[in-house]
């Protein structure tokens, strides 16, 4: 046991001697000669120069692509903003028009809720067979007589008198307009309006027994103008046939157009006759008479021109009489025109007709007299 402890003490003493030795002292075998050349330290390689060339090119292309995408996105955003501004401008104009129309309708309804008024109804069929109901009203205000269109509604199913009456009543109920404020109705002579059992007037009389109903004066004049004698109707039929013969073929229409230009005519086109247009007959005949010489020369050596020349006097007479009828028709229309003014215009026209009749008789008697030697 004593031997082991002695050995341990010897080792500790040896270690202490090594620690007391100066660390800066270099042993002779490890010392470097003073005349030996000093070598420079090797340079540490740079990290940036070590990046591959392919990686740099890929990064640069990615940057270019990102820039292009940003540019395209900015252009798309600008275009979208411009489009939204246009849409906003269009919608704002439409919105303002709707707001103004709504305000005008509210003002009109406010008058009808407290004032008495007259109602004129017209049912028309459009080109695509859509039936439209158009009521017009007239009432007195502080500014004088007022004439306005009340509404325009489509008749979805039929155009019977009951359907029309229900549309009017529904509108009045929705806007709190009393039916008793209506003092008179004006309608045309359509069966749906003046039918004896199921017409609009019958349903109106049931709801308003004291309401006054009248047949439109303008429509009466139109109905009278439709009743022609046999030979005058034949003359009008020939005129319509000639107009359709020229207008129905594009080649003939172009040739007639060139013929009118060469003849120095004021007009170069014919006007078609439309039965539903009240002024159509007069306009068609006036244009026909204005181009009479060109029409006769264009239709030379045809059967139509023979029939036309045979009815020349009737055609010219129809042109004159329908010109006066159209003039009367226009006098019966317009604002601030009442029944008294219409009656005065019709009475004056009847007196003119008597004057025309006397002139025709006078010229006929003169034509029958033999010529002077």
Pairing of strands 212-215, 182-187: parallel
Residue with tokens 């040896």: 14
Predicted local distance difference test score (pLDDT) of residue 27: 44
Is the same domain home to 337 and 229? yes
Q: What is the CATH number of the domain that holds 149?
A: 3.30.420
Is the same domain home to 171 and 280? no
Range of the domain at 160: 111-215
Is the same domain home to 333 and 200? no
Domain count within the chain? 2
Tell whether 336 is covered by a domain: yes
Pinpoint the alpha helices (H) of 21-150: 53-112
Is the same domain home to 196 and 127? yes
Is the same domain home to 192 and 148? yes
Distance CA 350, CA 348 (A): 5
Among 166, 190, 215, the domain boundary falls at: 215
- Asked if residue 342 lies in contact with residue 217, where contact means CB atoms within 8 angstroms, the answer is yes
Among 215, 245, 277, the domain boundary falls at: 215
Over the range 2-15, which residues count as b (16 or more CB within 10 Å of their CB) and which as e?
A: eeeeeeeeeeeeee
Is the same domain home to 118 and 182? yes
Predicted local distance difference test score (pLDDT) of residue 65: 83
Crossing angle between the packed helical segments 217-226 and 339-368, to the nearest 10 degrees: 20
pTM above 0.85, yes or no: no
Among 190, 215, 240, the domain boundary falls at: 215
Taking only the tens of pLDDT, the chain with its 373 residues reads 445 455 655 554 555 444 444 444 444 444 444 454 545 455 544 444 445 677 667 777 787 788 888 888 888 888 887 777 766 666 777 778 888 888 988 988 998 999 999 888 888 877 778 888 889 888 888 877 888 888 888 888 888 888 888 999 999 999 999 989 999 888 877 777 777 778 888 888 888 888 888 877 777 766 766 777 888 888 888 998 999 999 888 999 999 999 999 888 888 889 888 776 777 888 889 999 999 999 999 988 888 888 888 888 889 988 888 888 888 888 877 776 777 887 888 888 888 888 888 888 887 777 667 766 5
């Amino acid at each position: 046991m004593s031997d082991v402890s002695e050995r341990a003490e010897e080792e500790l003493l040896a270690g202490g001697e090594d620690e007391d030795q100066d660390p800066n002292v270099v042993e002779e075998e490890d010392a470097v000669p003073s005349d030996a050349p000093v070598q420079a330290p090797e340079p540490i390689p740079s990290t940036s120069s070590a990046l591959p060339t392919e990686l740099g090119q890929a990064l640069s292309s990615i940057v270019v692509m990102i820039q292009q995408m940003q540019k395209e996105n900015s252009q798309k955003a600008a275009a979208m903003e411009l489009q939204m501004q246009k849409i906003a401008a269009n919608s704002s104009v439409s919105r303002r028009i709707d707001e103004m129309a709504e305000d005008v309708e509210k003002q009109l309804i406010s008058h009808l809720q407290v004032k008495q008024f007259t109602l004129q109804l017209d049912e028309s069929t459009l080109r695509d067979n859509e039936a439209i109901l158009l009521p017009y009203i007239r009432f007195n205000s502080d500014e004088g007589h007022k004439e306005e269109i009340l509404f325009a509604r489509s008749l979805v199913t039929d155009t019977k008198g009951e359907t029309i009456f229900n549309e009017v009543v529904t509108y009045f109920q929705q806007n709190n307009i009393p039916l008793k404020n209506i003092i008179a109705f004006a309608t045309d002579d359509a069966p749906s309006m003046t039918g004896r059992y199921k017409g609009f007037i019958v349903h109106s009389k049931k709801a308003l027994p004291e309401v006054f109903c009248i047949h439109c004066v303008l429509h009466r004049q139109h109905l009278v103008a439709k009743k022609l004698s046999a030979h005058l109707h034949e003359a009008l039929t020939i005129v319509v046939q000639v107009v359709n013969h020229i207008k129905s073929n594009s080649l003939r229409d172009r040739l007639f157009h060139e013929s009118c230009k060469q003849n120095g005519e004021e007009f170069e086109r014919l006007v078609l006759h439309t039965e539903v247009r009240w002024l159509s007959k007069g306009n068609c005949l006036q244009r026909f008479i204005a181009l009479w010489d060109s029409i006769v020369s264009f239709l030379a050596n045809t059967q139509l021109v023979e029939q036309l020349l045979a009815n020349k006097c009737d055609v010219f007479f129809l042109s004159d009489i329908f010109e006066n009828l159209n003039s009367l028709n226009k006098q019966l229309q317009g604002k601030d025109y009442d029944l008294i003014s219409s009656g005065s215009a019709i009475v004056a026209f009847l007196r003119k007709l008597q004057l025309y009749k006397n002139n025709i008789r006078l010229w006929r008697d003169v034509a029958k007299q033999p010529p002077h030697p």
